[in-house]
Structure 1
Amino acid sequence: PAMGNYSLNQTCVIDDSFKYNLYGGVYSVVFILGLITNCASLFVFCCRMKIRNETTIFMTNLAVSDLLFVFTLPFKIFYNFNRHWPFGDSVCKISGTAFLTNIYGSMLFLTCISVDRFLAIVYPFRSRTIRTRRNSAVICAGVWLLVLSGGISASFFSTTNVSNTSTSCFEGFSKTVWKTYLSKITIFIEVVGFLIPLLLNLTCSSLVLRTLRKPATLCQIGTNKEKVLNMIIVHVAIFVICFVPYNSTLFLYALVRSQAVANCSLERFARTMYPITLCIATLNCCFDPFVYYFTSESFQKSLNVNPQINLDSLNKSETPLTLKTDLPPIQEELGEHTVTNGRELM
């Protein structure tokens, strides 16, 4: 089929060539903003933050995932504006893998942050042995292994297609490829990379909100309800705005491309909405730094955006336990671990 056109049958011809200028424009914006914000975030994580806990590990990996995708965008920008891929098959595969790794890696790392916040607030004492840097590093390694294996599997089919006038990348797959391989891969990444993280985020957020109704909870974690609500709003908003529309459309898109559903109007809708929702999904690279800001008080301090810090909270979050000789036993315990892993989490 010609680039930008795909026909379900002889009477249903669909033109989705508008997507090239759309992709080129959105990718240009994401490249500039994503490069600046994520490089700045990594600089803060690696060079400015004095306290590095398990949440920081998740956020650092999320920033790395965003940057890996951002670095491939110049190739995509050139391709979509020129409708020609001159960079070879290997770069095409890497570009496709980076996109899938970013989308689903972002969802999984955001879920890790959400679950970690849930444990810190709902089970501040019982989760102490679970919420460690070592366990966080192991979980991040598992996430990378999962998303890279899924991305590489899908990108195995992202070979370049050469026509008389141009070369395409990551499109123009045949009905047979969709039916035998890509539809199955799509279902797998939809369940593991989207549905499960979405349910975990919604469940953790609702349980945290229920726990915050207890006044004693706010005293234990050393923060106020407004901060926690801001965190929940940012996490849920990124999922609802960036990932829900794209993954819902992707499922429908896979159905019509594999001809599991043979309906011209439905295919026209899917082929029109898919580029739009995909562009919205790529904006998560620009939104993730808001997660760092609202989730980590240390991140805010490192940016010097909140110079008026309460001395008591500063002592709780950064003073070594051995110096807190005037605290009773339980408060001393809270001062070191729960605040570092609970309050600093936020």
Structure 2
Amino acid sequence: MGNNTNNFSCLIDDSFKYNLYGSVYSVIFVLGLITNCASLCVFCFRMRMHNETAIYMTNLAVSDLLFVFTLPFKIFYNFNRHWPFGDTLCKLSGTAFLTNIYGSMLFLTCISVDRFLAIVYPFQSRTIRTRKNSAIVCASVWVIVLSGGISASLFSTTNVSKSSTTCFEGFSKSIWKTYLSKITIFIEVVGFIIPLLLNLTCSSLVLRTLRKPATLCQIGTNKEKVLKMIIVHVAIFVVCFVPYNSILFLYALVRSQAIANCTIERFARTMYPITLCIATMNCCFDPFVYYFTSKSFQKSLHINPIIKMDTLFKVDSSTKMVLPGTNEDLTEHININNGELMSESNFKD
């Protein structure tokens, strides 16, 4: 399927995107469904302590699942290049996509800011870092992303032609100039630029704070854990969201004809499907955030801790006394317990 621009000398074929979308969405559906359902089960049924961080992560998992549930319709559409599911489901599908992309960025930002407060201001932030305030923040995030998603999906109507019906594509130049360009600017600033700056700022301040010798003793955690958290957060933003949003801004300029250049348009319309697929993979990466950020989440994944303890201790069958297996086992067990005790008592996760 070729796409002509208003400049007839510039003929662009981006039909590769349909097979690309269908293949990537198939993988994301399987992995995203398994990992996020498992994560949600941990949050709802296995975690005994639901603090502010768990509230943010639960909402992030819900956002990912809402998008994953719409993927079978997108998979069918891209492989068959026909949308038979009606206009309403087309709008819901578009809303779920935008909600996932920008909801993920905002909820990840909430987690990053929460960790920043806990590490940089461990005592002063106790009155701020509450479950009630976290619930209010999450509600605000949902209002923002749903407002942007619903506004954009108003134009996600199906376009019926003789051979097929399209969904969420084929917008006219006038729609791009009048509405979609403004919506794009709004979601880029609120959903991408501000969260990116907040994440980079919080990460840099946390790293600077960790250089102080007394910091780790005050917060009761280890430097390696915090560094892993920062690496995972920044990596998801850099890998998933920065390329997509950068190309989206250029793509909007091209489609609204603010930039009329065939080479730039070809580049934007070729890279847009690729970066979009990478961005949607965030719902498969988010469970890594849960694992590296929350100690309670890690502990909840231990299905049978008794078996694990048996590897550290030997039981004397005659006296029924529990003895350490080896000096190395005992040292490792003490270190693990001390680390968990400090983490649970002094640093909420």
Provide the residue aligned with 1:191 in structure 2.
189
Q: TM-score of the superposition, structure 1-length normalised?
A: 0.91
Residue 166 of structure 1, CA deviation? 0.2
CA shift digits 1:100-121 (9 cap, x unpaired): 0000000000000000000000
Provide the residue aligned with 1:65 in structure 2.
63
Tell me which of 29, 32, 39 is aligned to 1:31.
29
Provide the residue aligned with 1:102 in structure 2.
100
Provide the residue aligned with 2:336 in structure 1.
310
Provide the residue aligned with 2:198 in structure 1.
200
State the AA in 2 paired with 1:54: E
- Is residue 54–residue 132 contact of structure 1 (8 Å, CA) maintained in 2? yes
Residue 316 of structure 1, CA deviation? 4.8
Indicate whether 1:265 and 2:291 are aligned.
no
Tell me which of 88, 91, 97 is aligned to 1:90.
88
Alignment of 1:106-255 (within 5 A): 106-255=104-253
- Whole-Å separation in 2 of the counterparts to 1:314 and 1:224: 10
- Whole-Å separation in 2 of the counterparts to 1:58 and 1:273: 32
State the AA in 2 paired with 1:123: Y
Structure (1 or 2) with the larger CA radius of gyration: 2
Residue 87 of structure 1, CA deviation? 0.1
Name whichever of 189-198 and 302-311 sits farther off. 302-311
- Whole-Å separation in 2 of the counterparts to 1:87 and 1:315: 53
- Is residue 242–residue 282 contact of structure 1 (8 Å, CA) maintained in 2? yes
Indicate whether 1:280 and 2:278 are aligned.
yes
- Is residue 221–residue 342 contact of structure 2 (8 Å, CA) maintained in 1? no
- Moved runs in structure 1, 4+ residues, more than 2 A? 305-318
- Is residue 21–residue 75 contact of structure 2 (8 Å, CA) maintained in 1? yes
- Whole-Å separation in 1 of the counterparts to 2:220 and 2:341: 12
- Whole-Å separation in 1 of the counterparts to 2:160 and 2:119: 55
Residue 311 of structure 1, CA deviation? 2.9
Identity of aligned residues (%): 82
Provide the residue aligned with 2:43 in structure 1.
45
- Whole-Å separation in 2 of the counterparts to 1:191 and 1:67: 25
Q: Secondary structure at the match of 2:5?
A: strand
Residue 223 of structure 1, CA deviation? 1.3
Seen in structure 2, the aligned counterparts of structure 1 residues 4 and 138 have a Cα distance that, compared at 3 Å, is farther
- Whole-Å separation in 1 of the counterparts to 2:248 and 2:150: 18
- Whole-Å separation in 1 of the counterparts to 2:342 and 2:175: 57
Provide the residue aligned with 1:18 in structure 2.
16
Residue 222 of structure 1, CA deviation? 1.1
State the AA in 2 paired with 1:310: I
Q: Secondary structure at the match of 1:8?
A: coil
CA shift digits 1:253-284 (9 cap, x unpaired): 00000001100100000000000000000000
CA shift digits 1:114-142 (9 cap, x unpaired): 00000000000110100000000000000
Q: TM-score of the superposition, structure 2-length normalised?
A: 0.90
Residue 8 of structure 1, CA deviation? 3.2
- Is residue 154–residue 185 contact of structure 1 (8 Å, CA) maintained in 2? yes
- Whole-Å separation in 2 of the counterparts to 1:147 and 1:237: 22
Q: How many matched pairs?
A: 321
State the AA in 2 paired with 1:142: S
- Whole-Å separation in 2 of the counterparts to 1:222 and 1:260: 53
- Is residue 8–residue 264 contact of structure 1 (8 Å, CA) maintained in 2? no
- Is residue 246–residue 274 contact of structure 1 (8 Å, CA) maintained in 2? yes
- Is residue 115–residue 204 contact of structure 1 (8 Å, CA) maintained in 2? yes
